[in-house]
Amino acid sequence: MERFLKYFINHLKVERGLSQNTVLSYRNDLCQLGDFLMDNGIEEWKQASRDDLLDFLDYQRRRGMEAASIARELAAIKMFYRYLSGEELIDCDPTAAMDSPRLWRILPDMLSTEEVSALLSVYSPRAGDALTLRNRAMLELMYASGLRVSELTGLKLADVDFERGIIRVWGKGSKERIVPAAARTLKLLSRYITSARRELVEKSPLIPYLFVSRTGKKLNRERIWAIIKEAALNAGIDKEIHPHTLRHSFATHLLENGADLRVIQEMLGHANIATTEIYTHVSKERVLNVHRKFHPRK
């Protein structure tokens, strides 16, 4: 597998003249695909079928990768197999019948409003346990403001502006954006900071991060994901849960209730409106309701 990948990378550098960062991105995407295929008993690129490649993309989706990133990976895979086919290194191109990345979309998993309520209820804010209050505050904030898990882990105390009701978030590429937080969420955060967090950071009071572990250290992405999955299990939610589930639900519920797509784009920190447009799939029921309400032949 490595030999054909080296041929392709050299082709990108020499014949296409792509930048080092772009070439590295292609290599990383294809290495992930190669590892996935090897784990599934496929030891040569030519042995991979169209279904194998779609299984890989679905695997990436279940891991929490955003639809735009999956579309980028699909573009890399298509280019790679087109190259192998053109160089007659494989007999047929398994991506030939796959849809164009521009049209191809993987819809994000989401929770209903009832499921979100059930998820949040697992960690009661009335509990006296510091970790329970921390977990509830985290999940409330993720759903209230649509934060990525990586953004949540990087939040500091100074990023929460209680007076203005906003959160300063550092997103992808170290881009800063301001997102609103609901009054209920801010009230819960205030309680967490003044009681639970103070208890958790007793041995390391100078740590700047908003959410900390039981030992007073910065929480990592994996632990937050585990907390969400544990809450879903205890709430009886039988869905594939990943780090972006609450973020997807945040955007979907805003759209369902009439929020402007551009506003949602701003709150999510998407550079391209096309990335935000994946959430328009949920408006089917809303469209039907609007049609029934306003059409003259209802």
Cα–Cα distance, 210 to 200 (Å, whole number): 11
pLDDT tens digit string along 256-298?
Answer: 888 888 899 899 988 777 677 767 655 554 555 555 556 565 5
CATH architecture of 113-288: Orthogonal Bundle (1.10)
What value, to the nearest 5°, has the Cα angle with vertex 202 and ends 200 and 204?
100
Evaluate if residue 104 carries a pLDDT over 50.
no
Mean confidence (pLDDT) of the chain: 85
Instruction: Delimit the domains of the chain by residue range.
Output: 2-86, 113-288
DSSP count for the chain of H helices, then E strands: 14, 3
- Using alpha carbons, select from 140, 145, 139, 173 the residue that is nearest to residue 159: 145
The H or E element spanning position 2 is helix 2-10
pLDDT tens digit string along 158-216?
Answer: 999 999 999 999 887 778 999 999 999 999 999 999 999 999 999 889 999 999 999 99
Cα–Cα distance, 2 to 34 (Å, whole number): 9
Question: Which one of 4-18, 47-61, 154-168, 267-281 scores highest in mean pLDDT?
Answer: 154-168
**Sheet of 160-161, strands arranged across:** 160-161, 166-170, 176-180
pLDDT tens digit string along 224-250?
Answer: 989 999 999 999 998 878 778 898 899
User: If pLDDT is split at 50, 70 and 90, which confidence band does 19 have?
Assistant: confident
Question: Which one of 90-99, 117-126, 164-173, 287-296 scores highest in mean pLDDT?
Answer: 117-126
- What 3-state class would DSSP assign to 297? coil
Active-site annotation, residues? 148, 172, 244, 247, 270, 279
CATH architecture of 2-86: Orthogonal Bundle (1.10)
- Using alpha carbons, select from 138, 139, 137, 132 the residue that is nearest to residue 118: 139
Evaluate if residue 155 carries a pLDDT over 90.
yes
Q: Which two tokens stand for residue 186?
A: 């801010």
Question: Which one of 36-40, 64-68, 192-196, 272-276 scores highest in mean pLDDT?
Answer: 192-196
Amino acid at 183: A
Q: What is the mean pLDDT of residues 76-90?
A: 89
pLDDT for the residue numbered 146: 93
